[in-house]
Amino acid sequence: MTLVDRPTHVRAEVSGRGVHLWWGDRSADLHPHWLRDHSTEPGQIEATNWQRLFTPLDIPADLYVRAAELGDQVLVVDFSDGHRAHLVLATLARDLGWTADPDAPPAPEPWTEPLAEFPYVDWAGIGWSDEESDNDAVIAFLDAFFRHGYVVFRNTPVDEGTVARIANRIGYISGQNFGWVFDVRAEPNPTDLAYTTIELLAHTDEPYRIEPPGIQLLHCIANEAPGGDSTLTDGLAAASAIGAEHPDWHRALSEVEVDFRYDMGTDTVVNRGTVLQYDRHGRYRGIRFNTKLDTPLPRPGDDLDAWYAGRRWLTEWCNDPAHQVTFRLEPGDVMFMDNHRAMHGRTAFDASRGRRHLQGCYIEHNGPDTMYRLAVRRRAMLSR
Ligand SMILES: [Fe+2]
């Protein structure tokens, strides 16, 4: 546990059944069960994995705090069940949201025009293991990804299957209805519009899954056909923009339930949800935007005029070159993008005049989140 600088003014006293804690200009009543659950005394947690060994049934429901006093970096609490716990103040402050999680990745930064510098990442700095990587390069890659929602790796092998190795270097590959790894190229009987040569407007992948894929990787093996340039737009910025300019349309896209459906007859994948997702604190959670396969499910009071106007507005905004970055994938490049935020597309291409072959797969968000936290801890250890 990293100890953080304590403000000079820290004070604790028993209050009701719990403890009132003052921390600088903040203070809170801490519930006795919340405090008890923070105990890391011997026998309370397993020493290797730090998971709690006691259950709610082991603690009296009417638990209360008998005494509380501050020690060196700890709050010492005596509970009515006879347990005494030395609670690390830095942990309590972090879990109360009073201090930042020292390992947490940076917050997203919405962008409404191409970044001043395209976020290319040389794969040589990431490597195939922690031992062969440059830890600062790993942190720089993840920092750019979390801020902007995408990066493009350069200088990866051009062999088929590379995308799966890269996925498993950063997280764990997650399969879906196209398998573990899918090939993006023109097919005679396409199971998705991606497997044609037509233009694809800005979209997110697989909104029809109960949990849409977290992060998509697209590895370029060949890109010799005229056309086929890639585009990316920031769905987070798009959501903010429509919220500021057209609150009614934003509300409809956040509230009207939509049926997202992939139906090949042989393979049917269905999910229902809203285009824009926020949690109950109003924090952005994601966008499902794919006008090829969305159908609103109106309920009494739903404003479909607003929903369709908002969908049209998003389609225009997200495909406006002023808001998009357009670039060309070269063999050995891997686009790495947050599918809950970065909306991708491509221009049409002429398959009769050259080969275009990408391989793709998905991982979940925990992959880069975990990689970032471990890299930051490694940097802290190395600097000691
Ligand atoms: Fe796609």
DSSP 184-218: ES--SS-SSGGGSSS-EEEE-S-TTSSS--SEEEE
Phi first, then psi: give them for residue 122, nearest 5 degrees.
-75, 120
Whole-number pLDDT of residue 256: 98
- Round to the nearest angstrom and report the end-to-end CA distance of the chain: 14
Ion ligand 1, residues whose Cβ is below 5 A away: 205
Share of the chain above pLDDT 90, in %: 91
**E strand residue ranges, 2-50:** 10-15, 18-23, 26-30
Tell me the average pLDDT across 50-58: 97
153-167, 186-200, 343-357: lowest mean pLDDT where? Answer: 186-200
State the distance from the centre of ligand 1 to the C-alpha of 184, rounded, in angstroms.
Answer: 9
State the distance from the centre of ligand 1 to the C-alpha of 279, rounded, in angstroms.
Answer: 25
Residue 307, H or E segment: helix 304-318
> Helix or strand or coil: residue 92?
helix
Confidence class for position 2, pLDDT limits 50, 70, 90? very low
> Helix or strand or coil: residue 138?
helix
Identify whether the C-beta of residue 203 lies closer than 8 Å to the C-beta of residue 197.
no
Q: What is the mean pLDDT of the chain?
A: 95
State the distance from the centre of ligand 1 to the C-alpha of 298, rounded, in angstroms.
Answer: 27
State the distance from the centre of ligand 1 to the C-alpha of 32, rounded, in angstroms.
Answer: 49
β-bridge pairing 150-154 and 120-122: parallel
State the distance from the centre of ligand 1 to the C-alpha of 128, rounded, in angstroms.
Answer: 26
Express each pLDDT in 8-46 by its tens digit.
789 999 999 999 999 999 999 999 999 999 999 999 999
Number of neighbours of residue 338 by Cβ within 10 angstroms: 23
pLDDT at 1 > cutoff 50? no
CA distance 122 to 154: 5
State the distance from the centre of ligand 1 to the C-alpha of 194, rounded, in angstroms.
Answer: 6
Q: Which residues does residue 184 pair with via DSSP β-bridges, in sequence order?
A: 358
State the distance from the centre of ligand 1 to the C-alpha of 203, rounded, in angstroms.
Answer: 6
Phi first, then psi: give them for residue 237, nearest 5 degrees.
-65, -40
- 169 or 193: which leads in pLDDT: 169
Identify whether the C-beta of residue 327 lies closer than 8 Å to the C-beta of residue 150.
no
pLDDT at 3 > cutoff 80? no
Tell me the average pLDDT across 201-210: 96
Per the document, the length of the chain is 384
Tokens of 351: 């398959």
CA distance 335 to 337: 6
State the distance from the centre of ligand 1 to the C-alpha of 343, rounded, in angstroms.
Answer: 8
Identify whether the C-beta of residue 275 lies closer than 8 Å to the C-beta of residue 238.
no
pLDDT at 70 > cutoff 60? yes
Express each pLDDT in 299-353 by its tens digit.
999 999 999 999 999 999 999 999 999 999 999 999 999 999 999 999 999 999 9
Tokens of 51: 């998971």
Express each pLDDT in 111-129 by its tens digit.
999 999 999 999 999 999 9
> Helix or strand or coil: residue 33?
helix
